[in-house]
A and B are shown apart, each in its own frame.
Chain A
Amino acid sequence: MNDMTPTREQRTAALEGMGCKRKRVEDIRFTQGKGNYVDDVKLPGMLHGDFVRSPHAHARVKAIKADEALKVPGVLAVITAETLKTVNLAWMPTLAGDVQMVLADGKVLFQNQEVAFVVATDRYAADDGINKVEVEYEPLPPLIDPFKAMDHNAPVLREDLADKTTGAHGPRKHHNHIFEWTVGDKDLTDAAFRKAEVTIKEMISYHRTHPSPLETCQCVCSFDKVKGELTIWGTFQAPHVIRTVVSLIAKLPEQKIHVIAPDIGGGFGNKVGAYPGYICAAVASIVTGKPVKWVEDRIENLTATSFARDYHMTTEVAATKEGKVTGLRVHVLADHGAFDACADPSKWPAGFFNIVTGSYDFPTAHLVVDGVYTNKAPGGVAYRCSFRVTEAAYCIERAMDILAQKLGMDPAELRLKNFIKPEQFPYHSALGWEYDSGDYHTAMRKMMETTDYAALRKEQASRRAAFKRGETREIMGLGVSFFTEIVGAGPSKNCDILGIAMFDSCEIRMHPTGAGIARMGTKSQGQGHETTWAQIIATEIGIPADNIQVEEGNTDTAPYGLGTYGSRSTPVAGAAIAMAARKIKAKAQMIAAYKLEVHEDDLEFDIDGFRVKGLPEKFMSMKDICWAAYNSVPPGMEPGLEAVSYYDPPNMTYPFGAYLCVMDIDVDTGVYKVRRFYALDDCGTRINPMIIEGQVHGGLTEAFAIAMGQEIRYDDTGNVVTGSFMDFFMPTAVETPHWETDFTVTPSPHHPIGAKGVGESPNVGGVPAFSNAVNDAFSFLGSTHIQMPHDFWRNWKAAKNLGAVA
Chain B
Amino acid sequence: MAKTHVTMKVDGAEVEGLVEPRTLLVHFIRENLQLTGTHVGCETTHCGACTVDLDGMSVKSCTVFAVQADGSEITTIEGMANPDGSLSALQEGFRMMHGLQCGFCTPGMIMRAHRLLQENPSPTEQDIRMGMSGNLCRCTGYQNIIRAIQYAAAKLNNVEFKEAAE
Interface of A with B (CB < 8 Å)?
23-24, 26-37, 39-40, 42, 122-124, 212-216, 263-266, 268, 297-298, 525-528, 690-691, 693-695, 697-702, 724-726, 730, 732-734, 736, 738-741
Known: A33-B36, A697-B141. A528 touches B101 (CB 8 A): yes
Of all chain B residues, the one with the shortest Cβ separation from A700 is B141
B119 in the interface, Cβ–Cβ < 8 Å?
no
A214 to B46, CA, bound (A): 11
Q: List 11 A-B contacts (CB under 8 A).
A: A31-B95, A32-B37, A33-B38, A35-B104, A40-B30, A42-B31, A213-B102, A214-B49, A215-B104, A266-B139, A298-B42
Q: Are B44 and A214 in contact (CB under 8 A)?
A: no
Q: Are A214 and B110 in contact (CB under 8 A)?
A: no
Q: Are A214 and B137 in contact (CB under 8 A)?
A: yes
B123-166 contact mask (Cβ, 8 Å, vs A): 1 or 0: 00000111011111111111111100000000000000000001
A297 to B100, CA, bound (A): 23
- Smallest beta-carbon distance B127→chain A, Å: 11
Q: Are A297 and B104 in contact (CB under 8 A)?
A: no
Chain B residues near A690 (CB-CB < 8 A)? 98
Chain B residues near A29 (CB-CB < 8 A)? 103
The 8 lowest CB-CB distance pairs between A and B, nearest first, are: A33-B37, A265-B104, A526-B102, A30-B103, A33-B77, A697-B141, A725-B46, A701-B141
Q: Are A724 and B87 in contact (CB under 8 A)?
A: no
Chain A residues near B122 (CB-CB < 8 A)? none
Q: Which of A26, A690, A733 is packed against the most chain B CB atoms within 10 Å?
A: A733
Q: Are A215 and B102 in contact (CB under 8 A)?
A: yes
Chain B residues near A24 (CB-CB < 8 A)? 95, 98
Q: Are B36 and A40 in contact (CB under 8 A)?
A: yes
With A31-B95, A215-B39, A732-B133 given, name 19 new contacts (CB 8 A).
A28-B87, A32-B78, A34-B78, A35-B37, A39-B36, A40-B36, A213-B104, A214-B105, A214-B136, A265-B105, A527-B101, A691-B98, A698-B138, A726-B44, A726-B46, A730-B47, A732-B135, A734-B133, A736-B142
Chain B residues near A736 (CB-CB < 8 A)? 141-143
Q: Are B43 and A298 in contact (CB under 8 A)?
A: yes
Chain B residues near A212 (CB-CB < 8 A)? 138
Of all chain A residues, the one with the shortest Cβ separation from B166 is A740
What size tier do the contact residues of chain B reach? 35 or more
Query: B43, B78, B142: which contacts A733 (Cβ < 8 A)?
Result: B142
Q: Are B102 and A525 in contact (CB under 8 A)?
A: yes
Chain B residues near A215 (CB-CB < 8 A)? 39, 41, 102, 104
Of all chain B residues, the one with the shortest Cβ separation from A29 is B103
Q: Are B44 and A266 in contact (CB under 8 A)?
A: no
- Smallest beta-carbon distance B36→chain A, Å: 4
- Smallest beta-carbon distance A172→chain B, Å: 37
Of all chain A residues, the one with the shortest Cβ separation from B76 is A33
Of all chain B residues, the one with the shortest Cβ separation from A215 is B104
Q: Are B103 and A526 in contact (CB under 8 A)?
A: yes
Chain B residues near A702 (CB-CB < 8 A)? 138
Chain A residues near B47 (CB-CB < 8 A)? 214, 298, 725, 730
Chain B residues near A695 (CB-CB < 8 A)? 101
Q: Are B140 and A698 in contact (CB under 8 A)?
A: yes
A29 to B37, CA, bound (A): 10
Q: Are B44 and A124 in contact (CB under 8 A)?
A: no
A741 to B44, CA, bound (A): 34
Q: Are B130 and A265 in contact (CB under 8 A)?
A: no
Q: Are A698 and B141 in contact (CB under 8 A)?
A: yes
Query: B23, B46, B103, B133: which contacts A263 (Cβ < 8 A)?
Result: B103
Of all chain B residues, the one with the shortest Cβ separation from A702 is B138
- Smallest beta-carbon distance B84→chain A, Å: 13
B55 in the interface, Cβ–Cβ < 8 Å?
no
A212 to B102, CA, bound (A): 13
A42 to B129, CA, bound (A): 36
B40 in the interface, Cβ–Cβ < 8 Å?
yes
A124 to B19, CA, bound (A): 12
A701 to B47, CA, bound (A): 16
Q: Are B77 and A725 in contact (CB under 8 A)?
A: no
B65-99 contact mask (Cβ, 8 Å, vs A): 1 or 0: 00000000000111011000001000110111010
B58 in the interface, Cβ–Cβ < 8 Å?
no
Q: Are A214 and B94 in contact (CB under 8 A)?
A: no
A741 to B98, CA, bound (A): 15
Q: Are B141 and A31 in contact (CB under 8 A)?
A: no
Of all chain A residues, the one with the shortest Cβ separation from B44 is A724
- Smallest beta-carbon distance B106→chain A, Å: 5
Of all chain A residues, the one with the shortest Cβ separation from B46 is A725
A37 to B137, CA, bound (A): 16
Q: Are A733 and B44 in contact (CB under 8 A)?
A: no
Of all chain A residues, the one with the shortest Cβ separation from B80 is A32
- Smallest beta-carbon distance B21→chain A, Å: 11
Of all chain B residues, the one with the shortest Cβ separation from A742 is B166
- Smallest beta-carbon distance B108→chain A, Å: 9
Q: Are A39 and B141 in contact (CB under 8 A)?
A: no
Of all chain B residues, the one with the shortest Cβ separation from A34 is B37
Chain B residues near A124 (CB-CB < 8 A)? 20, 22-23
Q: Are A733 and B128 in contact (CB under 8 A)?
A: yes
- Smallest beta-carbon distance B116→chain A, Å: 11
Q: Are B136 and A37 in contact (CB under 8 A)?
A: no
Q: Are A701 and B95 in contact (CB under 8 A)?
A: no
Query: B27, B38, B94, B136: which contacts A31 (Cβ < 8 A)?
Result: B94
Q: Are A734 and B129 in contact (CB under 8 A)?
A: yes
Q: Are B106 and A30 in contact (CB under 8 A)?
A: yes
Chain A residues near B39 (CB-CB < 8 A)? 37, 39, 214-215, 265
B35 in the interface, Cβ–Cβ < 8 Å?
yes
A736 to B128, CA, bound (A): 13
Query: A27, A36, A698, A726: which contacts B94 (Cβ < 8 A)?
Result: A27
Of all chain A residues, the one with the shortest Cβ separation from B130 is A734
Chain B residues near A698 (CB-CB < 8 A)? 101, 137-141
A725 to B60, CA, bound (A): 15
Chain A residues near B103 (CB-CB < 8 A)? 26-27, 29-31, 35, 263, 265, 526
- Smallest beta-carbon distance A90→chain B, Å: 29
Q: Are B141 and A214 in contact (CB under 8 A)?
A: no
Q: Are B100 and A30 in contact (CB under 8 A)?
A: yes
Chain A residues near B91 (CB-CB < 8 A)? 31-32
Q: Are B136 and A725 in contact (CB under 8 A)?
A: yes
Chain A residues near B110 (CB-CB < 8 A)? 31
Q: Are B141 and A725 in contact (CB under 8 A)?
A: no
A436 to B23, CA, bound (A): 57
Query: B41, B77, B102, B135: which contacts A32 (Cβ < 8 A)?
Result: B77
Query: A27, A694, A725: which contacts B140 (Cβ < 8 A)?
Result: A694
Of all chain A residues, the one with the shortest Cβ separation from B137 is A214
Chain B residues near A694 (CB-CB < 8 A)? 98, 101, 139-140, 144
- Smallest beta-carbon distance B53→chain A, Å: 13
A690 to B163, CA, bound (A): 14
- Smallest beta-carbon distance B122→chain A, Å: 18
Of all chain A residues, the one with the shortest Cβ separation from B78 is A33
Q: Are A733 and B166 in contact (CB under 8 A)?
A: no
Q: Which of B41, B102, B128, B145 is packed against the most chain A CB atoms within 10 Å?
A: B102
Chain A residues near B104 (CB-CB < 8 A)? 35, 37, 213-215, 265-266
